[in-house]
Amino acid sequence: MMMCQNTARNVEIKAKIHDLNAVIEKVADVCKMEMEVIHQCDTFFKTENGRLKLREFKDGGELIYYDRPDVDGPKLSSYSKSSVTDTTSLKSVLQMALGVKGLVKKKRMLWHYNQTRIHIDEVEGLGNFLELEVVLNDNQTPEDGTRAAQELLDILGIPVSDLLSGSYLDYLNISKPA
């Protein structure tokens, strides 16, 4: 069974982390809350437009479609999610219909700061990353989200040189030998 959610928007930034413990300490200090640890396995499916992934958790998952440019720094992402209780059969159907593009396994540490979801991801085979998702409400512009994300990057001391474009899957595919 799936439960649909309306399309939403966020401004997203990804950055490479060089000192995991230092960044965790800074984020914890800024957020003043306990983090949530989530183990995720994302299966990406072949699509003509945007990206489609089935995110599996310990209990259930989400089917997520999103579209965003692959540029360094802040980028506007439009997405839609649907809750899934039977990830195994849905994955099988999508694999048969679309084909699998790749798999990303990660341990995600999650905090909330105002309207921003702060993730520290330990991505299997790739390393450690910071991801900021500034969830926009209907009356906010992408520029509002970019400002909020930049403020957090400054507070956390993340240099522009560490910002990334693309998805973890893109980087995993680049690192695989041809």
Taking only the tens place, the pLDDT of each residue in 132-172 is 999 999 899 999 999 999 999 999 999 989 998 888 998 98
Cβ within 8 Å of residue 162, ≥6 positions away: 15, 16, 17, 18
Choose among 118, 140, 115: nearest CA to 129: 118
For the four alpha carbons of 14, 17, 21 and 23, in that order, the dihedral sign comes to: negative
pLDDT at 116: 96
The whole-number pLDDT of residue 169 equals 92
* This prediction's pTM: 0.86
The pLDDT of residue 176 is 58
For 105, counting Cβ atoms within 10 Å of its Cβ (0-12 exposed, 13-18 middle, 19+ buried), the class is middle
pLDDT of res. 5: 52
Strands 127-135 and 75-84: unpaired
pLDDT tens profile 100-142? 999 999 999 999 999 999 999 999 999 999 999 999 998 999 9
pLDDT in tens, 43-100: 999 999 999 999 999 889 999 999 988 777 788 888 999 999 999 999 999 999 999 9
Q: Name which of 118, 4, 126, 135 is nearest 76 in CA terms.
A: 135
What is the reported pLDDT for 7? 77
Indicate if the alpha-carbon torsion angle 37, 153, 76, 168 is positive or negative.
Answer: negative
Q: Is the pLDDT of residue 4 over 60?
A: no
Whether the CA torsion 90, 95, 97, 99 is positive or negative: it is: positive
| 2-175: CATH class | mainly beta
